[in-house]
Amino acid sequence: MDSNQLIAPRSRGSVQGDIFSGLTVALALVPEAVAFSFVAGVSPVVGLYGAFMMCLITAVLGGRPGMISGATGAMAVVMVNLVMEGNALGGSPAAGVQYLFFALLLVGLFQALAGVFRLGKFIRMVPRSVMMGFVNGLAIVIFLSQLRMFQADGAWIQGQPLWTMASLVALTMGILLIVPRIHKKAPGALVAIIAVSLLVIFAKIDTQTVLSFIQSKGGTGIQAGLPSFAFPQVPLTWATLVFVVPYALILAAIGLIESLMTLTLIDELTDSHGSGNRECVAQGFANFVNGLFGGMGGCAMIGQSIINISSGGRGRLSGIMAAGALLFFILFMSQYIEMVPIAALVGVMFIVVIKTFAWSTFNVLNKVPKWDVIVIILVTFLTVKYDLAIAVICGIIISALIFAWENALRIRARKTVDEHGIKHYKIYGPLFFGSTTLFMSKFDAKNDPQEVIIDFEESRIMDQSAIEIINKVAEIYQRSGKTIHLWHLSKDCVRLIKKAEKICVVNVLEDPDYFVSIDNYHKFREAI
Protein backbone atom coordinates (compact mmCIF):
# COMPACT_ATOMS: atom_id res chain seq x y z
CA MET A 1 0.00 0.00 0.00
CA ASP A 2 1.29 3.47 -0.85
CA SER A 3 1.74 6.09 1.83
CA ASN A 4 -0.59 8.38 -0.13
CA GLN A 5 -3.43 5.92 0.37
CA LEU A 6 -2.72 5.66 4.07
CA ILE A 7 -2.69 9.38 4.66
CA ALA A 8 -5.56 10.40 2.38
CA PRO A 9 -4.34 13.96 2.68
CA ARG A 10 -6.05 15.90 -0.07
CA SER A 11 -8.61 17.67 2.08
CA ARG A 12 -8.28 21.38 2.71
CA GLY A 13 -8.07 20.92 6.47
CA SER A 14 -9.77 22.96 9.19
CA VAL A 15 -9.04 24.99 12.30
CA GLN A 16 -10.15 22.06 14.43
CA GLY A 17 -7.86 19.71 12.54
CA ASP A 18 -4.92 22.11 12.91
CA ILE A 19 -5.46 22.44 16.67
CA PHE A 20 -5.73 18.74 17.42
CA SER A 21 -2.89 17.80 15.09
CA GLY A 22 -0.73 20.51 16.67
CA LEU A 23 -1.33 19.04 20.14
CA THR A 24 -0.44 15.57 18.89
CA VAL A 25 2.77 16.82 17.30
CA ALA A 26 3.73 18.68 20.48
CA LEU A 27 3.47 15.45 22.49
CA ALA A 28 5.57 13.60 19.93
CA LEU A 29 8.16 16.38 19.85
CA VAL A 30 9.05 16.03 23.54
CA PRO A 31 10.87 12.66 23.51
CA GLU A 32 12.33 13.35 20.05
CA ALA A 33 13.82 16.68 21.15
CA VAL A 34 15.13 15.14 24.37
CA ALA A 35 16.66 12.16 22.54
CA PHE A 36 18.36 14.30 19.90
CA SER A 37 19.71 16.70 22.52
CA PHE A 38 21.48 13.78 24.18
CA VAL A 39 22.81 12.70 20.78
CA ALA A 40 24.19 16.21 20.26
CA GLY A 41 25.69 16.28 23.75
CA VAL A 42 23.60 19.16 25.10
CA SER A 43 20.98 19.60 27.83
CA PRO A 44 17.41 18.37 27.13
CA VAL A 45 16.17 21.92 27.71
CA VAL A 46 18.40 23.10 24.83
CA GLY A 47 16.75 20.50 22.58
CA LEU A 48 13.25 21.49 23.70
CA TYR A 49 13.98 25.19 23.16
CA GLY A 50 15.32 24.35 19.74
CA ALA A 51 12.21 22.38 18.82
CA PHE A 52 9.94 25.19 20.04
CA MET A 53 11.71 27.98 18.14
CA MET A 54 12.21 26.00 14.94
CA CYS A 55 8.57 24.90 14.93
CA LEU A 56 7.15 28.36 15.62
CA ILE A 57 9.29 30.40 13.23
CA THR A 58 9.02 28.02 10.27
CA ALA A 59 5.28 27.65 10.83
CA VAL A 60 4.84 31.43 10.57
CA LEU A 61 7.42 32.25 7.89
CA GLY A 62 8.06 28.95 6.09
CA GLY A 63 7.15 28.02 2.56
CA ARG A 64 5.20 24.85 3.39
CA PRO A 65 2.13 25.13 5.65
CA GLY A 66 1.64 21.93 7.63
CA MET A 67 5.33 21.01 7.69
CA ILE A 68 6.89 20.67 11.14
CA SER A 69 10.46 21.62 12.03
CA GLY A 70 12.41 20.89 15.17
CA ALA A 71 15.55 19.30 16.57
CA THR A 72 16.61 16.45 14.26
CA GLY A 73 18.93 13.49 14.42
CA ALA A 74 20.51 14.28 11.04
CA MET A 75 21.92 17.52 12.43
CA ALA A 76 22.51 16.17 15.93
CA VAL A 77 25.07 13.60 14.74
CA VAL A 78 27.16 16.48 13.35
CA MET A 79 26.60 18.70 16.37
CA VAL A 80 28.04 16.13 18.77
CA ASN A 81 31.50 16.43 17.19
CA LEU A 82 31.23 20.22 17.19
CA VAL A 83 30.34 20.24 20.90
CA MET A 84 33.09 17.79 21.83
CA GLU A 85 35.78 19.70 19.93
CA GLY A 86 34.40 22.96 21.29
CA ASN A 87 34.75 21.69 24.83
CA ALA A 88 38.38 20.82 24.18
CA LEU A 89 39.05 24.13 22.42
CA GLY A 90 37.39 26.21 25.14
CA GLY A 91 38.89 24.23 28.00
CA SER A 92 35.59 23.63 29.83
CA PRO A 93 32.54 21.32 29.60
CA ALA A 94 30.31 24.33 28.91
CA ALA A 95 32.34 25.76 26.03
CA GLY A 96 31.13 23.33 23.36
CA VAL A 97 27.49 24.40 23.51
CA GLN A 98 28.56 28.05 23.08
CA TYR A 99 30.42 27.13 19.91
CA LEU A 100 27.26 25.32 18.79
CA PHE A 101 25.20 28.48 19.31
CA PHE A 102 27.74 30.52 17.36
CA ALA A 103 27.72 27.94 14.57
CA LEU A 104 23.92 28.23 14.38
CA LEU A 105 24.28 31.96 13.66
CA LEU A 106 26.36 31.09 10.61
CA VAL A 107 24.04 28.22 9.67
CA GLY A 108 21.18 30.70 9.68
CA LEU A 109 23.06 33.13 7.45
CA PHE A 110 24.06 30.43 4.96
CA GLN A 111 20.53 29.03 4.74
CA ALA A 112 18.93 32.45 4.40
CA LEU A 113 21.37 33.34 1.61
CA ALA A 114 20.43 30.12 -0.17
CA GLY A 115 16.84 31.31 -0.15
CA VAL A 116 17.70 34.87 -1.20
CA PHE A 117 19.69 33.56 -4.17
CA ARG A 118 16.83 31.19 -5.01
CA LEU A 119 18.83 27.99 -4.64
CA GLY A 120 15.80 26.12 -3.31
CA LYS A 121 14.71 25.44 -6.88
CA PHE A 122 17.56 22.99 -7.28
CA ILE A 123 15.57 20.46 -5.26
CA ARG A 124 13.89 19.80 -8.60
CA MET A 125 17.16 18.21 -9.69
CA VAL A 126 16.60 15.33 -7.27
CA PRO A 127 15.46 12.29 -9.30
CA ARG A 128 12.44 10.26 -8.28
CA SER A 129 14.63 7.25 -7.53
CA VAL A 130 16.65 9.31 -5.03
CA MET A 131 13.42 10.57 -3.46
CA MET A 132 12.13 7.03 -2.99
CA GLY A 133 15.42 5.91 -1.50
CA PHE A 134 15.42 8.90 0.85
CA VAL A 135 11.87 8.21 2.03
CA ASN A 136 12.52 4.50 2.56
CA GLY A 137 15.81 5.13 4.34
CA LEU A 138 14.25 7.72 6.61
CA ALA A 139 11.41 5.35 7.47
CA ILE A 140 13.96 2.70 8.45
CA VAL A 141 15.92 5.25 10.52
CA ILE A 142 12.76 6.27 12.38
CA PHE A 143 11.91 2.62 12.99
CA LEU A 144 15.38 1.82 14.32
CA SER A 145 15.32 4.89 16.57
CA GLN A 146 12.09 3.66 18.15
CA LEU A 147 13.54 0.20 18.75
CA ARG A 148 15.99 1.84 21.13
CA MET A 149 13.04 2.58 23.39
CA PHE A 150 12.89 -1.17 24.02
CA GLN A 151 16.30 -0.98 25.68
CA ALA A 152 17.35 -0.20 29.24
CA ASP A 153 20.95 0.54 30.17
CA GLY A 154 22.05 -0.57 26.72
CA ALA A 155 20.37 -3.99 26.95
CA TRP A 156 17.07 -5.19 25.47
CA ILE A 157 14.26 -5.38 27.98
CA GLN A 158 12.88 -8.87 28.51
CA GLY A 159 10.09 -10.71 30.25
CA GLN A 160 7.12 -8.80 31.64
CA PRO A 161 8.46 -5.28 30.84
CA LEU A 162 8.85 -6.30 27.19
CA TRP A 163 5.34 -7.75 26.95
CA THR A 164 3.88 -4.68 28.66
CA MET A 165 5.70 -2.31 26.32
CA ALA A 166 4.76 -4.30 23.21
CA SER A 167 1.10 -4.55 24.30
CA LEU A 168 0.82 -0.80 24.89
CA VAL A 169 2.47 -0.05 21.55
CA ALA A 170 0.05 -2.40 19.77
CA LEU A 171 -2.90 -0.83 21.64
CA THR A 172 -1.79 2.65 20.60
CA MET A 173 -1.46 1.60 16.96
CA GLY A 174 -4.86 -0.10 17.05
CA ILE A 175 -6.60 2.96 18.49
CA LEU A 176 -4.84 5.23 15.98
CA LEU A 177 -6.05 3.10 13.07
CA ILE A 178 -9.60 2.56 14.37
CA VAL A 179 -10.52 6.10 15.51
CA PRO A 180 -10.37 7.69 12.01
CA ARG A 181 -12.68 4.92 10.75
CA ILE A 182 -15.24 5.89 13.38
CA HIS A 183 -14.90 9.62 12.79
CA LYS A 184 -12.73 10.92 9.95
CA LYS A 185 -11.93 14.24 11.62
CA ALA A 186 -11.12 12.75 15.02
CA PRO A 187 -7.46 13.23 16.06
CA GLY A 188 -6.55 9.56 16.17
CA ALA A 189 -2.97 10.04 17.41
CA LEU A 190 -3.99 12.39 20.21
CA VAL A 191 -6.85 10.12 21.29
CA ALA A 192 -4.50 7.13 21.30
CA ILE A 193 -1.85 8.90 23.40
CA ILE A 194 -4.37 10.17 25.95
CA ALA A 195 -6.20 6.83 26.18
CA VAL A 196 -3.05 4.78 26.71
CA SER A 197 -1.70 7.35 29.18
CA LEU A 198 -4.88 7.20 31.28
CA LEU A 199 -4.80 3.41 31.19
CA VAL A 200 -1.21 3.34 32.44
CA ILE A 201 -1.89 5.91 35.18
CA PHE A 202 -5.12 4.51 36.59
CA ALA A 203 -4.16 0.86 36.16
CA LYS A 204 -0.77 1.66 37.68
CA ILE A 205 1.04 -0.21 34.93
CA ASP A 206 4.79 -0.28 35.40
CA THR A 207 6.31 0.96 32.15
CA GLN A 208 8.75 3.59 30.96
CA THR A 209 7.45 7.17 30.84
CA VAL A 210 8.81 10.41 29.47
CA LEU A 211 10.26 11.24 32.90
CA SER A 212 11.95 7.88 33.37
CA PHE A 213 13.33 8.13 29.84
CA ILE A 214 14.88 11.54 30.56
CA GLN A 215 16.28 10.32 33.88
CA SER A 216 17.79 7.27 32.20
CA LYS A 217 19.73 9.67 29.96
CA GLY A 218 21.02 11.69 32.90
CA GLY A 219 18.42 14.46 32.85
CA THR A 220 16.05 15.65 35.57
CA GLY A 221 12.92 16.73 33.69
CA ILE A 222 11.53 19.06 31.04
CA GLN A 223 10.41 21.95 33.22
CA ALA A 224 12.15 25.24 32.41
CA GLY A 225 11.49 28.93 31.92
CA LEU A 226 11.30 31.01 28.77
CA PRO A 227 14.40 31.04 26.55
CA SER A 228 16.47 34.17 27.13
CA PHE A 229 18.67 36.22 24.81
CA ALA A 230 22.42 35.73 25.12
CA PHE A 231 25.06 36.16 22.43
CA PRO A 232 27.29 33.06 22.24
CA GLN A 233 30.25 33.38 24.60
CA VAL A 234 33.07 32.52 22.22
CA PRO A 235 36.20 34.47 21.29
CA LEU A 236 35.54 36.38 18.08
CA THR A 237 38.80 35.45 16.40
CA TRP A 238 39.97 34.03 13.10
CA ALA A 239 40.67 30.69 14.81
CA THR A 240 37.03 30.49 15.93
CA LEU A 241 35.83 31.05 12.36
CA VAL A 242 38.22 28.45 10.98
CA PHE A 243 36.88 25.95 13.50
CA VAL A 244 33.18 26.76 13.20
CA VAL A 245 32.62 27.56 9.49
CA PRO A 246 33.11 23.99 8.16
CA TYR A 247 30.61 22.66 10.69
CA ALA A 248 28.21 25.48 9.87
CA LEU A 249 28.37 24.70 6.14
CA ILE A 250 27.72 21.00 6.76
CA LEU A 251 24.82 21.72 9.13
CA ALA A 252 23.32 24.25 6.72
CA ALA A 253 23.52 21.78 3.83
CA ILE A 254 22.03 18.92 5.84
CA GLY A 255 19.25 21.13 7.16
CA LEU A 256 18.30 22.46 3.74
CA ILE A 257 18.45 19.08 2.02
CA GLU A 258 16.25 17.42 4.64
CA SER A 259 13.85 20.36 4.74
CA LEU A 260 13.48 20.64 0.97
CA MET A 261 13.13 16.88 0.56
CA THR A 262 10.45 16.86 3.26
CA LEU A 263 8.74 19.81 1.57
CA THR A 264 8.65 17.92 -1.71
CA LEU A 265 7.19 14.85 0.00
CA ILE A 266 4.49 16.88 1.78
CA ASP A 267 3.70 18.61 -1.53
CA GLU A 268 3.01 15.20 -3.05
CA LEU A 269 0.95 13.99 -0.11
CA THR A 270 -1.21 17.12 0.02
CA ASP A 271 -1.40 17.70 -3.74
CA SER A 272 -0.20 21.27 -3.25
CA HIS A 273 2.92 23.31 -3.84
CA GLY A 274 5.21 24.98 -1.29
CA SER A 275 7.97 27.53 -1.79
CA GLY A 276 11.44 26.06 -1.40
CA ASN A 277 13.20 29.45 -1.40
CA ARG A 278 10.90 30.84 1.28
CA GLU A 279 11.49 27.72 3.36
CA CYS A 280 15.26 28.23 3.07
CA VAL A 281 14.95 31.76 4.46
CA ALA A 282 12.64 30.61 7.27
CA GLN A 283 14.94 27.74 8.23
CA GLY A 284 17.87 30.15 8.27
CA PHE A 285 16.08 32.70 10.42
CA ALA A 286 14.92 29.98 12.84
CA ASN A 287 18.45 28.62 13.27
CA PHE A 288 19.83 32.15 13.71
CA VAL A 289 17.32 32.82 16.48
CA ASN A 290 18.24 29.49 18.07
CA GLY A 291 21.83 30.64 18.26
CA LEU A 292 20.80 33.80 20.09
CA PHE A 293 18.28 32.20 22.47
CA GLY A 294 19.98 28.96 23.46
CA GLY A 295 18.33 26.34 21.25
CA MET A 296 20.04 23.52 19.39
CA GLY A 297 18.50 24.43 16.05
CA GLY A 298 17.29 21.88 13.55
CA CYS A 299 15.33 21.51 10.33
CA ALA A 300 12.14 19.97 8.96
CA MET A 301 11.11 16.67 10.55
CA ILE A 302 9.53 14.16 8.21
CA GLY A 303 8.11 12.02 11.01
CA GLN A 304 6.34 14.86 12.81
CA SER A 305 5.29 16.41 9.50
CA ILE A 306 3.53 13.20 8.51
CA ILE A 307 1.95 12.94 11.98
CA ASN A 308 0.65 16.47 11.43
CA ILE A 309 -0.66 15.79 7.93
CA SER A 310 -2.25 12.46 8.84
CA SER A 311 -3.90 14.05 11.91
CA GLY A 312 -5.57 16.72 9.78
CA GLY A 313 -3.04 19.56 10.03
CA ARG A 314 -2.83 21.54 6.79
CA GLY A 315 -2.35 25.19 7.70
CA ARG A 316 0.20 27.29 9.54
CA LEU A 317 -1.98 27.12 12.63
CA SER A 318 -1.02 23.48 13.16
CA GLY A 319 2.68 24.33 13.45
CA ILE A 320 1.98 27.39 15.60
CA MET A 321 -0.24 25.26 17.84
CA ALA A 322 2.46 22.58 18.14
CA ALA A 323 5.08 25.16 19.13
CA GLY A 324 2.75 26.90 21.57
CA ALA A 325 1.71 23.62 23.17
CA LEU A 326 5.33 22.51 23.49
CA LEU A 327 6.24 25.75 25.27
CA PHE A 328 3.15 25.39 27.48
CA PHE A 329 4.28 21.87 28.40
CA ILE A 330 7.74 23.16 29.30
CA LEU A 331 6.43 26.02 31.42
CA PHE A 332 3.33 24.68 33.14
CA MET A 333 2.53 21.03 32.41
CA SER A 334 5.86 19.28 32.61
CA GLN A 335 4.71 17.00 35.44
CA TYR A 336 1.78 15.71 33.37
CA ILE A 337 3.70 15.30 30.12
CA GLU A 338 6.38 13.39 32.03
CA MET A 339 3.68 10.82 32.90
CA VAL A 340 2.98 9.94 29.25
CA PRO A 341 4.19 6.38 28.57
CA ILE A 342 6.93 6.05 25.97
CA ALA A 343 4.99 3.11 24.50
CA ALA A 344 2.20 5.46 23.37
CA LEU A 345 4.65 7.70 21.53
CA VAL A 346 6.44 4.68 20.02
CA GLY A 347 3.10 3.39 18.73
CA VAL A 348 2.44 6.71 17.00
CA MET A 349 5.91 6.68 15.44
CA PHE A 350 5.45 3.11 14.18
CA ILE A 351 2.36 4.29 12.31
CA VAL A 352 4.48 7.14 10.93
CA VAL A 353 6.98 4.55 9.68
CA ILE A 354 4.22 2.68 7.87
CA LYS A 355 2.98 5.89 6.29
CA THR A 356 6.44 7.15 5.41
CA PHE A 357 7.81 4.08 3.67
CA ALA A 358 7.17 4.11 -0.08
CA TRP A 359 5.56 0.68 -0.37
CA SER A 360 5.12 1.26 -4.09
CA THR A 361 8.86 0.59 -4.34
CA PHE A 362 8.20 -3.15 -4.41
CA ASN A 363 5.76 -2.72 -7.29
CA VAL A 364 8.20 -0.80 -9.49
CA LEU A 365 11.35 -2.84 -8.91
CA ASN A 366 10.74 -4.97 -12.01
CA LYS A 367 9.21 -2.16 -14.05
CA VAL A 368 11.83 0.60 -13.93
CA PRO A 369 15.38 0.59 -15.35
CA LYS A 370 17.85 -1.42 -13.30
CA TRP A 371 19.94 1.68 -12.64
CA ASP A 372 16.98 3.34 -10.91
CA VAL A 373 16.58 0.27 -8.71
CA ILE A 374 20.28 0.44 -7.82
CA VAL A 375 19.96 4.15 -6.93
CA ILE A 376 16.89 3.49 -4.74
CA ILE A 377 18.67 0.73 -2.83
CA LEU A 378 21.92 2.71 -2.53
CA VAL A 379 20.25 5.88 -1.23
CA THR A 380 18.22 3.83 1.24
CA PHE A 381 21.38 2.13 2.53
CA LEU A 382 23.40 5.35 2.78
CA THR A 383 20.57 7.13 4.60
CA VAL A 384 20.49 4.38 7.21
CA LYS A 385 24.26 3.87 7.41
CA TYR A 386 25.46 7.48 7.31
CA ASP A 387 23.14 10.45 6.92
CA LEU A 388 20.68 12.09 4.61
CA ALA A 389 23.08 14.58 3.02
CA ILE A 390 25.60 11.94 1.97
CA ALA A 391 22.81 9.69 0.65
CA VAL A 392 21.11 12.39 -1.44
CA ILE A 393 24.34 13.85 -2.83
CA CYS A 394 25.63 10.39 -3.81
CA GLY A 395 22.26 9.52 -5.33
CA ILE A 396 22.19 12.69 -7.43
CA ILE A 397 25.78 12.21 -8.62
CA ILE A 398 25.19 8.59 -9.60
CA SER A 399 21.91 9.46 -11.33
CA ALA A 400 23.65 12.26 -13.25
CA LEU A 401 26.45 9.95 -14.34
CA ILE A 402 23.96 7.32 -15.47
CA PHE A 403 22.01 9.96 -17.40
CA ALA A 404 25.21 11.25 -19.04
CA TRP A 405 26.33 7.73 -19.97
CA GLU A 406 23.00 6.76 -21.50
CA ASN A 407 22.79 9.99 -23.50
CA ALA A 408 26.39 9.61 -24.62
CA LEU A 409 25.42 6.40 -26.38
CA ARG A 410 22.66 8.15 -28.33
CA ILE A 411 24.96 10.07 -30.66
CA ARG A 412 24.56 8.67 -34.17
CA ALA A 413 25.59 9.66 -37.70
CA ARG A 414 23.79 8.76 -40.93
CA LYS A 415 26.24 8.82 -43.82
CA THR A 416 25.25 9.44 -47.45
CA VAL A 417 26.97 10.59 -50.64
CA ASP A 418 24.93 12.81 -52.98
CA GLU A 419 25.06 13.00 -56.80
CA HIS A 420 27.88 15.59 -56.66
CA GLY A 421 30.15 13.26 -54.74
CA ILE A 422 29.76 15.22 -51.49
CA LYS A 423 29.56 13.13 -48.33
CA HIS A 424 26.90 14.07 -45.78
CA TYR A 425 27.08 13.24 -42.08
CA LYS A 426 23.63 13.68 -40.53
CA ILE A 427 24.19 13.82 -36.75
CA TYR A 428 21.52 12.63 -34.32
CA GLY A 429 21.54 12.97 -30.53
CA PRO A 430 23.14 15.39 -28.05
CA LEU A 431 26.82 16.23 -28.41
CA PHE A 432 28.43 16.86 -25.01
CA PHE A 433 31.46 15.75 -22.99
CA GLY A 434 30.20 12.20 -22.65
CA SER A 435 29.56 11.61 -26.36
CA THR A 436 32.63 13.28 -27.90
CA THR A 437 34.66 10.08 -28.23
CA LEU A 438 31.83 8.23 -29.96
CA PHE A 439 31.18 11.29 -32.16
CA MET A 440 34.83 11.37 -33.25
CA SER A 441 34.73 7.71 -34.23
CA LYS A 442 32.02 8.39 -36.82
CA PHE A 443 34.36 10.19 -39.26
CA ASP A 444 36.84 8.85 -41.80
CA ALA A 445 38.80 11.89 -42.96
CA LYS A 446 41.41 9.79 -44.76
CA ASN A 447 38.93 8.07 -47.10
CA ASP A 448 36.27 10.79 -47.34
CA PRO A 449 35.87 12.85 -50.56
CA GLN A 450 37.09 16.44 -50.91
CA GLU A 451 33.77 17.96 -49.83
CA VAL A 452 32.16 16.91 -46.53
CA ILE A 453 29.03 18.26 -44.88
CA ILE A 454 28.27 17.70 -41.20
CA ASP A 455 24.61 18.49 -40.53
CA PHE A 456 23.61 19.19 -36.88
CA GLU A 457 19.91 19.75 -37.57
CA GLU A 458 18.91 16.73 -35.43
CA SER A 459 21.64 17.27 -32.85
CA ARG A 460 22.33 19.75 -30.08
CA ILE A 461 25.69 21.21 -29.11
CA MET A 462 25.62 21.08 -25.29
CA ASP A 463 28.96 22.26 -23.87
CA GLN A 464 32.54 23.37 -24.41
CA SER A 465 33.73 19.78 -24.89
CA ALA A 466 31.38 19.48 -27.87
CA ILE A 467 32.74 22.68 -29.40
CA GLU A 468 36.31 21.53 -28.96
CA ILE A 469 35.64 18.18 -30.63
CA ILE A 470 34.08 20.01 -33.61
CA ASN A 471 37.24 22.13 -33.80
CA LYS A 472 39.31 18.96 -33.75
CA VAL A 473 37.30 17.36 -36.55
CA ALA A 474 37.67 20.53 -38.62
CA GLU A 475 41.44 20.55 -38.10
CA ILE A 476 41.74 16.90 -39.15
CA TYR A 477 39.92 17.54 -42.44
CA GLN A 478 41.90 20.72 -43.06
CA ARG A 479 45.20 18.87 -42.59
CA SER A 480 43.95 16.31 -45.12
CA GLY A 481 43.39 19.13 -47.62
CA LYS A 482 39.64 18.66 -47.58
CA THR A 483 36.77 21.10 -47.10
CA ILE A 484 34.29 20.59 -44.30
CA HIS A 485 30.98 22.44 -44.04
CA LEU A 486 29.04 22.63 -40.76
CA TRP A 487 25.30 23.04 -41.15
CA HIS A 488 22.61 24.05 -38.70
CA LEU A 489 24.88 25.33 -35.97
CA SER A 490 23.29 27.91 -33.69
CA LYS A 491 24.76 31.41 -33.47
CA ASP A 492 26.23 30.92 -30.01
CA CYS A 493 27.94 27.70 -31.12
CA VAL A 494 29.43 29.20 -34.30
CA ARG A 495 30.67 32.20 -32.35
CA LEU A 496 32.72 29.90 -30.13
CA ILE A 497 34.21 27.78 -32.90
CA LYS A 498 37.12 30.11 -33.51
CA LYS A 499 39.25 27.75 -35.53
CA ALA A 500 36.43 26.67 -37.81
CA GLU A 501 34.46 29.87 -38.32
CA LYS A 502 35.86 30.52 -41.83
CA ILE A 503 34.63 27.18 -43.12
CA CYS A 504 31.20 27.22 -41.41
CA VAL A 505 28.26 27.25 -43.80
CA VAL A 506 24.76 27.38 -42.38
CA ASN A 507 21.61 26.49 -44.30
CA VAL A 508 19.86 29.80 -43.72
CA LEU A 509 16.99 28.96 -46.08
CA GLU A 510 15.83 26.10 -43.87
CA ASP A 511 16.79 27.73 -40.58
CA PRO A 512 16.33 31.53 -40.75
CA ASP A 513 17.09 31.82 -37.03
CA TYR A 514 20.61 30.52 -37.63
CA PHE A 515 22.88 32.89 -39.54
CA VAL A 516 26.60 33.03 -40.14
CA SER A 517 27.36 34.22 -43.68
CA ILE A 518 24.83 34.45 -46.48
CA ASP A 519 27.57 35.07 -49.00
CA ASN A 520 29.49 31.96 -48.02
CA TYR A 521 26.32 29.94 -48.17
CA HIS A 522 25.34 31.10 -51.66
CA LYS A 523 28.87 30.57 -52.98
CA PHE A 524 28.79 27.04 -51.64
CA ARG A 525 25.33 26.32 -53.14
CA GLU A 526 26.47 27.67 -56.51
CA ALA A 527 29.55 25.46 -56.38
CA ILE A 528 27.47 22.32 -56.05
Characterize the bridge pairing of strands 155-156 and 151-152. antiparallel
Residue 515 has pLDDT above 50, yes or no: no
* Euclidean distance between CA atoms 523 and 518, whole angstroms: 9
pLDDT at 2: 46
Query: How does DSSP assign 437-495, residue by residue?
Result: HHHHTT--TTTS-SEEEEEEEEEEE-SHHHHHHHHHHHHHHHHTT-EEEEES--HHHHH
Instruction: Using DSSP, state whether 429 is helix, strand or coil.
Output: strand
List pLDDT tens digits, range 311-370: 888 899 999 999 999 999 889 888 888 898 989 888 888 887 888 788 888 888 888 888
Residue range 177-232, pLDDT digits in tens: 898 888 776 777 788 888 999 999 999 999 998 888 778 767 777 888 899 999 99
Phi/psi at 207 (5° precision)? -155, 165
Model pTM score: 0.72
Q: What is the mean pLDDT of the chain?
A: 84
Domains, the chain, with CATH or none: 3-7+14-145+156-216+230-400 (no CATH), 412-527 (3.30.750.24)
Summarised one tens digit per residue, pLDDT across range 398-426 is 998 998 888 888 899 999 998 889 999 99
Q: Count other Cβ atoms within 10 Å, centred on residue 358.
A: 21
3-state secondary structure of 76: helix
Summarize pLDDT for 372-388 with one digit per residue, the tens.
999 999 999 998 887 77
